[in-house]
Structure 1
Amino acid sequence: MQAPLGIVATLCAALLLGCNGGIPDARADVESGRAIYAKECAQCHGINGDGAGAASLGLGVVPPDLVGLTGRNDGVFPREFVRRFVLGLLEKEDPDAAMPEFGTVGLQHVYPDGGAGAEVLHTDIAALLDYLETIQQ
């Protein structure tokens, strides 16, 4: 028995609309990540992520260019590596490096009155990574 064409078309349209439901959330995550980047990262890594932030002048080293992460990794954004690095879960070559370990210090500029719990921090870091992925060149 065949279903009428109208019912099939309506069902397909409903399913496609359901698939689009995640797009606004993804945009919101990127915008949240952009705000976190502006407060926590831009001072050193630059407004555009090119490593030329005002605070980088006194560091003695140039912070990494964040817009070229994908280009330096065979066209793949190294999301898990960046997440672990930002949270301070990787051993640093220079233990005295200026890069904060956000897993320890929290997002001090985003939450100046005290950090949010670890669950929120991981959500915020995920949003930051979503944003960083969008600025890759």
Structure 2
Amino acid sequence: MDQLMGTFNFDRNENFEAYLGTMGVPYLAKKMMSKTTPTIAIRREIDEWIIEIKTMVMNQTIKFKLDQPFEDSFPMGGGSFQTTPKATGEAEITLFASTQKGDVERTFRILEDELVMHWKNRTKSVECKRYFKRSHK
């Protein structure tokens, strides 16, 4: 799991704008979000994971302990909901949630030296990926 820790700079999207559209994000917000180049910092303090997502427009910090539900929200609005984080692989954490927008999974996975943020809405059968290059550990 230590492979997940580090700072990552945005590289590219795959189906991101279409995913946002099915999640009900308005046109202008969707266009703006698809043009952002976030930086993600992942660290662990004892048994608490902290994921910081920073853009020029807004920042989001997600704090959690594995297997313990926590109050969460999407950066694009839509209210709060309970999320359960799980270690789903050797270098992978998935956040599972049932939201007003559907059953959603957000997976943070290391593939070689790249962070892949994989979003799935199982209810609407849509998914996207955002890729990030490691800047430093």
Q: Same fold (TM over 0.5)?
A: no
TM-score by length of 1: 0.27
TM-score (norm 2): 0.27
Structure with bigger helix share is: 1
Larger radius of gyration: 1
Higher relative contact order (CA 8 A, sep 6+): 1
Between Structure 1 and Structure 2, the one with more strand by share is 2
